Structure formats: structure tokens, C-alpha cells
Structure 1
Amino acid sequence: MPKADQKLSDILEERWTIDDLVERDKLVTERKSLKDLILELEDEVLANAGVDVFEEVFKLIFTKLYDEMESGRNSNRHLEFRNYGDTESELKEKVQRLFDRAKNKWEGVFTNDAQIMLTPSHLSICVASLQDVKLFNSNLEVVDEAFEYLISKSSKGEKGQYFTPRYVIDMCVKMLNPQEHETMIDTAAGSSGFTVHTIFHVWEQIMEDEGLNKSHLFTSELKPPRCVDYVKDKVFAIDFDEKTVRVARTLNLIAGDGQTNVLHLNTLDYERWDERTEDENWQDIYFEGWRKLKRLRTKRNSNRDFKFDVLMANPPFAGDIKESRIISKYELGKRANGKYQNSVVRDILFIERNLDFLKPGGRMAIVLPQGRFNNSSDKRIREYIAEQCRILAVVGLDGNVFKPHTGTKTSVLFVQKWDDELCPKVEDYPIFFATMKEPSKDSSGDKIFVRKKDYPNAKQYNQGANPTDIYNDVPEDLDEYLLDSHGHLIVKHDLFNHDGLTQDGIAEAFIEFAKKEGFSFLGK
């Protein structure tokens, strides 16, 4: 029993470390996903709490990520995002203090005076639901999927912007092979999957170079200075939706150990950037990233042309640009007769805008509606691209890839800007074409996972593994599925070989093609 001057939390002895969380992770032991838990909280608690669900769940995930990262870097530290017998009021005070420290560590996501708005009783239920969940794994996919769900509920789909599946992103990163010395940008960032996975790709190169191993807590571990410097100086992202920018900043701040260059700007309306960047409130959050972005401009006082080495983006397909002020800035805003159109589909202007971001020899991967490659009315767009760049590859994606958000058929276009040294102009050259044969998702948009029987000779990691990036309903017969070395379920696709466990795919075939062609970014 507590003494007169003691609280219940003072005498309860059990304290959790990060190792306890890894061992008892609810996503594994109860076979749930973080998205499932948020859905339960919405139904049971948040719907009646009178709060903005996105904001409050975002605050809790943000706070818990900070708590896990602190313990990931000090394995003896006790986790604070959990109830050790605190009263509801004590728990709220404790979580608010933790949230305040997270805000100080990862600036520019929440205002300095932001508070957790849940009542102590509602917060207590939420903490109880989330405290046994491990958010950090080798690739941030657990939390990323939860953010995708939260944002898609509010604004994402209406603007025709959809989160790019991580296996599509990984294919693009493998094919364009960004390097430590190169600059990279995503001009329609969403939750910034292209930047985060580019960071991981380069980090693995750095860590291999320094003889360091990647663990299942890869994302939370302290990195060598070269890794942090890369994020600080070389990686950028832009998006026009404030909610997605805040999510993107969170993921990049975590990946970059407090460093990020994710900016809230309208990529297409660069003429008005200066108005935006002179706003004092905007500067409080984004000034450092903006200062670094300005250094990459081709001309000192123009926000049109930049000198990036690599660009990867999935621009919004839906919605026409109707402002003549914006359309008049683009060649692709014109009709064949040279007169400007009254409205232009957004992704068409993104093609031209993205090419403006690239230096000569720079390379790009962009997700586009299939019609851009097929429609006779889009011939002028294809000719414009061919004038500016060498077309490296076109990869057709399955129609289910962007479900449940949209069934639009898409392809990924890979190009490299003409340059005398890196990509000398030629009139006739081979192009790599490929089509995805494995759908990766079913018609409802649920991911299809690799079974052991698909690869009976693959190394089995199921014993004692932690399948913590489970996306939707966990298969009941989990033992029948192949897990990778980090205990993750593997999505069934043919875009690339997953850690040597599945078969070579489109990315490997392209790399072989690129080496034969002598592309500058993949060596001989």
C-alpha cells in the first residue's frame, strides 16, 4: 500500500524499456495494425471527445515517436508514454510534458503553445491503447500507414493526391540510385515517402562504407554525422497541403535527427513564392529549409529554375489549373496553335515544372496517368519531354496499386535531362519498357503478401520475428507467410527483389539494361 506521501505510481515497480516494447509489441501479439487501433479509438473515444481527430491522434503519435526514439538511443531509459499507475490527471500532465519536449526536438510541426486537447479520461484510454505498440521499425511504415489513413479522411483524395505505395517508391529509388553527394527533391511530397526512402537508400550506402550494420530499429538509432549532414543539406520536399506538409516534416525530422527541408509551397505557382516566404509566421517554421533551397536556384532572383540532381514525384492527377496567370508561365499551357488554354490538367504542368527543377544531366521519376503515354491528344506533351530529356524507362503499374483511393491506371516515367557530359544527346536510342504482372493489392485495395510456398527455398525468418508493418487485417494463417529479416510481411509484387528473398524484378532488369547502355548514374 502507498504511504501517505506516496502515489500508486511510486510503488509500482514495473518499468518498460524499448526492449520490453519490442518483445511485447501489441501489433505482433494481438495481430493488429496501428490503423486498426486508431479506428477503434475513433469509434470508442474520439468520436465523442469533441476534438479534431487528426490533430489529437497526430499529437499522440508524435509524442510516442519521440519517447521511443529517446529509448532507442538509451536502452536503459524507461519509456514515459505509458501509465504506470498514474491518476488520469497525472498521466495528462506527464504526456503533455513529453509532448512539449518532442515539440522542442522536432520544431515546425506544432506551434509552441500547442496543447493536448483530450480530457484526462479520454487521454487515459488512448494511452492505454497505444502504449504497447512499437511505432519504430526499419522503415517507418507502421506510422506512415496510419498517417495515410488520417489524411485521406480529411483532404487528400479530394485534391487528386494519393500516397504512393512504398514498394513503388523503392523501385524508383533503386532505378535512379541517388548518391550521397547529390541533391534530391519531391515537388508533390504528400507524406514524403520519396524523400524518406531516398534517405534510407543513401544511409545504407554510408553505413556500409563505414562498416555499420542496419538493425530492426534502424530509424530510431543515432546515425553517423555523414547521414545527418546528407539530410540537412541534400534532401528537399514541397507540398501545397499544410496537413501533409506537417506529416512529411515529422517523418523527415525523425529520419534526419531534427533536420528537414520540407516546405509548404505551391510548386506550380512559383511566381508567388516570394509573397509566401516573406510571411513572418511562415519564416518561423520554414526559413532554414528555404535558405538552403534558394542556394540551388539557377538564377539568384528567380524561383523557376533549379539545379537538382534527382527528382521523384507523384503529382496530383485530379483538378484543372484555371488561373491564366499560372498557365501563361508554361509551354505546356499552350494549344498546338500556340494560344494558351483556359484550363490545364494539373499533372501536365507538373511535367514541365519538374524538368525546370533539374540541372542538365539530372534525372527524374514521375508517376503519370497512363493516358499521357497513349492518348493522341497528348502527343505534344510526349514531344516536349523527348526534346528536353532522354527517356530512360516507362514502367506500367497495375490498376490496383492506388486502390482504395483511385483505380486510375498509371505508369512511372524515368528520364534524364540532356547534357554533353552526363547524357549526350542522340537521335535514336533504346528505351526500357516493363509492365507490372503481380497486382500487389486486391480489388479492394488490401495488400497481397508473399506466402512461403511462393519461394520454398527462401531463407525463413518467421521464427521469433516481429511482423510490425502489417497493413490491414493480419492473415490468420500468418505462419504460412514469408517474412523478411526485420520480421515484416512482404508485399507480393514483381518490381524488385525484396532483400534477396524473392525473385529479381523490374528494377534489376532496368539496372542491367542501364549498365549496358552506360548510364552515368549506375556505372558499368
Structure 2
Amino acid sequence: MSNEDILLIPSGKLRCVVSGKLRKDTPEENVRQRIARSLLDNYAYDKADMEIEFTINQGSKKPRVDVAIFPPNTEHKQENIKIIVECKREEIKPTDKDNGVEQLKSYISACLNAKYGMWVGSELQVWEKITDKNQYKLETATDIPRFGLEAPQPLTFAELVPAQDELIDVFKRCHNYIYGNQGFQKEQAFQELLKIIFCKVYDEDTAIDTMRFFIGNQERRSEIGQRQLKQTIEKIFEEVKTRYPYIFDKEESIRLENRVLAYLVGEMQRFSFLLTEADVKGTAYEQLVGSNLRGDRGEFFTPRNVCEMASKMALLTYPRKQWLKLKIIDPTCGTGGFLVATMNVLREVIREQQIKKWRKNENKAEEETIRILKETANANLLGIDFNPILVRAAQMNLVMHGDGSTNIFHANSLLPPGEWSSTPPNDVANYVKPNSFDVIVTNPPFGSNIAVDDSHILAQFEIARLSTTGNQASGLPPEQLFIERCLYLLKPSGRLAIVLPDSILSNPGLANLRRWILKKARIIASVDLPAVTFEPYTGTQTSVLLLQKKTEAEMQLEDKSGQPLDYEIFMTMPEAVGHDRRGNVHYLRTPQGELIEYEEEYSVSRRTADGEQVVEHRRQRKRLVHDDLPEVVKYFEQWLQENNRMEWLND
């Protein structure tokens, strides 16, 4: 980026997307800025027609509305306000005495020609002013109209917009609405929300013209309209179950009340989940899953940047032309973070190839990228997890990112493979064979408090008999067993990128385990992750170890010589991982404490109403995140290119 693209933001400030002025960096202001950006990007309103903190007269009071929207080419006066938006912190409820939805209603009443109001806090509520015989009343509505319309209209696929950062808030509000209004526990609420997201994605994928996943303002207010929506969504869900029989049972149904379902559809209907950038929906989905499904079996989900670093480093050890043919598995896949990260890398490789092939015809290249990525993922990416809820969460994650969801299996990876299911659709035994994978990327559950003590399982593993007496251990932490299981699944010379607690690398009592690893594998790289990597969930110090499984010939040669072959190892200790101990994003700052913003161009792929895939270029301002992991990948790639190391790895 050039110096002209960079802006420095003083500490404690942020730049308003509407006015360009600096404002205090507060939780309320962040909500307002996300909503304002959505009004610009998703509703197509012009900055010139918007005012932030616009003062109105309300009797003797002069309150300031968060966002006022005016008709084009109209003087910005109170009587000309068309839409009012009030933004609150996410914990503020609509019933709050001072900041709830009644405050918004009073503002609408004070503005003669205001037609709509939007209140955003723990929920998103929209109110429409209905006038009849010079009398008006405020009625609930689904949404405010987009620019140029007097009321929300049924959407075609071409009119859907890719989501940005607001998708995190949308998922959070939807889940909280189910939790607060349906009476479900968090996990139940998550499962129901997952069904609705599936319906949304399926409707996008199959839409020909008007979206079925839509509810208008009048239908939202009508019991009949809500009932009709329920019937429509139930029909879509029946089709979803037909397409994804390996995810949903035939007996499953939508268990949400009509009014709850209407809220969810209203929140999600204007976005295209399929066309939303992978990073955006990945982050939103991870936060949704992470806040609901963290279990007690060491299930601390891997930060996305760690997944990306490990996946890229493993792939970089192979010639680029081989990447689309590599068989890749995560035997403890959780929500699919490593598999999605791998898909994102492959997507860029495919896109580069297709741009070159179609001579910069971006639309055709994007269409082919989507097709080839789906074929590649379905053929080469696999995942296993012991938790059936995480299996479904991973399947949804892969569906949203281009597919490969058919290859996510429910199984205990540590069981003897002969005991794995061979019955479709969970026929893991037919797809996962020993010595058959080129790459494994994984973060196994770890901790002595979840030690595996089943003697039947332990009997399979060499490392269970590494004690000086040669007797089988009575119990071992799962991460130790997963090292051996991963090497068992890898082809000779295959690569394993695995997140491990540092105790494995440094604990004197685990010297025998380290010797066993060095006997079976060559260490390519070791990345000592920052202490905050898995905060705020666990403070366990971890590393990413990149191994290459030795061939029988290599092990025999070392046995004969009595010493291991000499080789080089890439080692590094990044200092920053993009977030702090509380999990908040850690932005890069100047020595004076100023935030660094830059302008970035990005591509948005969308499908027109006639089915054509088109690519649009947009620009957005972003903050530099203090994250050293992308630099680790760059230095590792340079290291591989030096001294013929790539040839040495691929002999």
C-alpha cells in the first residue's frame, strides 16, 4: 500500500464512515458505525442524505438521533427526516426504561414525515408509521426500505448484498432472540439457528428469481403472514434434508414459533451468505459457534489465523502444481476451521489459474473457480470429530465456504480403525485408510484432565508402551495419542501440521515421546505461539509443529547408522497473534498510540438474476491488525526456497 492510502487515527478515536470526522471509540459508537456502513453498502443510501447525531426538537428537549436519513436533494431539517436509526450497546434490551425502543418511538412521533425507525441493541426492531384519516400509529415491521423504495420489496438473488462485519451482530442477535423468546437452552437455540442458516443458503443456491426466504412488513405484522412464512421455510427445510441427508434426519423439523422465525428471516434476508467473503462469514460463524459449543473435553477452537498459518505452511512444502491433488484430513476437525482455511488457500490458487486461463475474464474465471473448488473439496478434504454437534457445525461451515461437507464424519479417531462405521452416510471406514493422506492439519484436544484411560484404545499405540518397563500406560493425554494416529494416517513423506502444548516439546518427563517422534518423523518447522493465542479460554502455551513422516527406508538407514540424518529446522517465535488476553482485536499502533488505517480494494462475486456470475470491485477502509502469523508464512516460504530445501523435502 502507498503512503497516500494510510490514515493515522489518534488513540481512543475512530473515523466516521458518513462524515469522515473523528469520534470517540466507544461500544455505542462502534455499533453506530457498523449500522451506518450497512446503510451505505446494503441499503444504498448516500452519505449526503445522512446525518450522524442530528438534533431534533421534542418539546422542551433537544435530543440527538443517532442516524437521520433524508430524501435526496432535500434540506436537512427535522420535518424532512424519512428514517431514524437508534443504536445501543448489544446488552441494551428494547424494554430498557431510558434507552429502549420507546425512545425511538418518541423520536418518530416528533418528526412529522418520518416513515420508519430502526432500533438496534440486543435485538433489531423496525417500526413503521401507518397513517389513516390523519391519525397515525406505529406498527412493527421487518426492515426499512432500500434507497429508492417506499417499502421493503421481495428480493431477487441479484439484489442480495454480501455481508460485512455486521454479520457477527446479525448471528448474535438471532441466537439471542431464540434464546430469549423461544425458551431454548443455548445449544438448542444454536441448532435451530443452524437449520435456518441452511435454509437461507439453500434458497440462495436454488433461487431462479424471487427469494423465498423473505418476509415483508405487512406479513410480519399479520398472524396469517407469519404462518405462511413458517410453511415456506418448512418446505425449504424439507428440500434441505433431501439434499443433506448426512446432516439432517428425516424426522427433524423447524421448532421455532412463528414470530421468532419471522424475526430471524427479517434479520438475514437482505444478505447473500454464499457471496459474502470467506473471512467475513468465517469470523462470524466462529464467534457464533465458539460462544455456544465450547465443551469440557479440551474443545478450545483454533483461531482462524493459526489455522491459516498452519495450512499454508503445510501446503507450501509441496510444489504448487500438486496442491489441488493432495488428500487432506483433520481427524479432530471441530467446527472445520483448518479445512475452511485450506479451502481458502486452494480457492486463491484456483482463481489465479482461471484468471490466466480465461485471459482476465473475471466473471467466467469466478464461475469456474466455484465449480472446481467444490469438486476439489468433495474429492480431497475430510474431517472427523467425536462430538456430533461439532460435526454438524463443521458441515455447515463447509457448505457456506464452497462444500466438502459430505466428507465430515462422526467418529472417535482414536478407536481402532476396524471399529469405525462403514455404514453410509457416516461411512468413515470407507474413506479414511492408513498411509493414505498427504497432509494433516489439526489441533487435537489436550490436557491431563481428559486423559484416555481405555486399555482397549491404548493397546493400539506404541507410545503407550514407552516407559522404561515397557508396560502399557494406564492413561495418556489425548494429544500424545493423536500424534501417533496422525502419523498412522499419513503417507510416507506426508506432512503433519499440529498444534501441541509446549510441555510435549520441553517437559523432561516426556523425553521418550520426543525420541519416538524424532524416530518416526522429521521436524520441518516449529512455531512457538504467543501466550495469548487461546485466551481468554485457556492460557496453555502452545506451538505449531510441522512434521514430515519418514519412509521405511529413511528409518532403516538411521537404524543402521545409529544416528538420525542431519537436517535444518525452521524455528520462530512470533510476538503478536491479533488479539489480547480478553480476546479483543489487537490493532497495530504507531509509537504515539495512533491506529493505522488503510484503504483496500476487494472483489465481490455475485450472480445476476439471469444466472450470470459477475465480479464487482469495491474499496473499504481497514485497520492494521497486530498479527505476526502472516509474516511467519512469508519467512517460511523464503526459507523453503533457499538451499534447495524444497527439492530435499520432495525427493
Q: Does 1:306 align with 2:435?
A: yes
Q: Does 1:129 align with 2:267?
A: yes
- What per-residue deviation string (whole Å, max 9, x for no partner) do you get for residues 339-372 of structure 1? 1111111101011111111111101100001111
Cα pair distance change 1:261/1:139, threshold 3 Å: farther
Question: Larger deviation: 88-97 or 247-256?
Answer: 247-256
Contact 2:186 2:292 in 1 (8 A): no
Residue 434 of structure 1 and its aligned partner are, at CA, apart by 0.7
Partners in 1 of 2:544 and 2:535 — Cα distance? Answer: 16
Partners in 2 of 1:149 and 1:83 — Cα distance? Answer: 27
Cα pair distance change 1:176/1:388, threshold 3 Å: same
Contact 1:367 1:411 in 2 (8 A): yes
Please point out which of 360, 366, 370 is paired with 2:498. 366
Question: Larger deviation: 175-184 or 451-460?
Answer: 451-460
1:161 match: secondary structure? coil
- What per-residue deviation string (whole Å, max 9, x for no partner) do you get for residues 5-63 of structure 1? xxx99x9882223454327x5x55x6863443235414542336999212211111111
1:309 match: secondary structure? strand
Contact 2:418 2:429 in 1 (8 A): no
Correspondence for 1:246: 392
Correspondence for 1:65: 201
Q: Does 1:229 align with 2:375?
A: yes
Correspondence for 1:413: 545
Correspondence for 1:331: 462
Contact 1:237 1:262 in 2 (8 A): yes
The within-5 A match list for 1:1-400 is 14-22=153-161, 25=163, 33-38=169-174, 40-42=176-178, 44-47=180-183, 52-70=188-206, 77-84=209-216, 85-86=218-219, 87-137=225-275, 139-149=277-287, 151-152=289-290, 155-177=293-315, 179-211=323-355, 223=369, 225-257=371-403, 260-271=406-417, 273-274=419-420, 276-277=421-422, 283-287=423-427, 290-293=429-432, 297=433, 305-318=434-447, 319-334=450-465, 335-400=467-532
Residue 337 of structure 1 and its aligned partner are, at CA, apart by 2.2
Cα pair distance change 1:465/1:292, threshold 3 Å: closer
Correspondence for 2:121: none
Residue 200 of structure 1 and its aligned partner are, at CA, apart by 2.5
User: Whose RCO is larger (CA < 8 A, sep 6+)?
Assistant: 1
Contact 2:391 2:409 in 1 (8 A): yes
Aligned-CA RMSD value: 3.8
Question: Larger deviation: 326-335 or 314-323?
Answer: 326-335
Q: Does 1:493 align with 2:618?
A: no
1:189 match: secondary structure? coil
Amino acid at match of 2:153: E
Amino acid at match of 1:196: V
2:544 match: secondary structure? strand
Amino acid at match of 1:239: D
Correspondence for 1:5: none
Please point out which of 491, 513, 517 is paired with 2:639. 513
Amino acid at match of 1:122: V
Q: Does 1:446 align with 2:584?
A: yes
Contact 2:246 2:406 in 1 (8 A): no
Contact 1:400 1:440 in 2 (8 A): no
Cα pair distance change 1:308/1:445, threshold 3 Å: same
2:640 match: secondary structure? helix
Consecutive unaligned residues of structure 2, counting only runs of 5 or more, are 1-140, 143-149, 220-224, 559-563, 605-617
Correspondence for 1:501: none
Residue 233 of structure 1 and its aligned partner are, at CA, apart by 1.9
2:600 match: secondary structure? coil
1:286 match: secondary structure? coil
2:246 match: secondary structure? coil
Contact 1:363 1:416 in 2 (8 A): yes
Amino acid at match of 2:463: L
Cα pair distance change 1:516/1:452, threshold 3 Å: same
Partners in 1 of 2:196 and 2:172 — Cα distance? Answer: 16
Partners in 2 of 1:96 and 1:332 — Cα distance? Answer: 51
Residue 328 of structure 1 and its aligned partner are, at CA, apart by 1.5
Contact 1:439 1:493 in 2 (8 A): yes
Partners in 1 of 2:490 and 2:471 — Cα distance? Answer: 26
Amino acid at match of 1:16: L
Cα pair distance change 1:422/1:35, threshold 3 Å: farther
- What per-residue deviation string (whole Å, max 9, x for no partner) do you get for residues 146-166 of structure 1? 554554455533010221111
Cα pair distance change 1:229/1:130, threshold 3 Å: closer
Partners in 1 of 2:234 and 2:249 — Cα distance? Answer: 14
Count of residue correspondences: 465
Partners in 2 of 1:31 and 1:332 — Cα distance? Answer: 45
Amino acid at match of 1:41: Y
Larger radius of gyration: 2
Contact 1:176 1:521 in 2 (8 A): no
Question: Larger deviation: 239-248 or 509-518?
Answer: 509-518
Partners in 2 of 1:430 and 1:184 — Cα distance? Answer: 25
Contact 2:332 2:385 in 1 (8 A): yes
Contact 2:328 2:440 in 1 (8 A): yes
Amino acid at match of 1:291: N
- The two structures have a TM-score, normalised by structure 2, of 0.64
1:210 match: secondary structure? helix
Partners in 2 of 1:350 and 1:214 — Cα distance? Answer: 45
Partners in 2 of 1:80 and 1:514 — Cα distance? Answer: 51
Contact 2:155 2:270 in 1 (8 A): no
Residue 101 of structure 1 and its aligned partner are, at CA, apart by 2.3
Amino acid at match of 2:435: F
Residue 227 of structure 1 and its aligned partner are, at CA, apart by 2.8
Amino acid at match of 2:474: N
Question: Larger deviation: 334-343 or 100-109?
Answer: 100-109
Contact 2:599 2:620 in 1 (8 A): no
2:302 match: secondary structure? coil
Partners in 2 of 1:16 and 1:489 — Cα distance? Answer: 33
Cα pair distance change 1:514/1:162, threshold 3 Å: same
Residue 108 of structure 1 and its aligned partner are, at CA, apart by 1.4
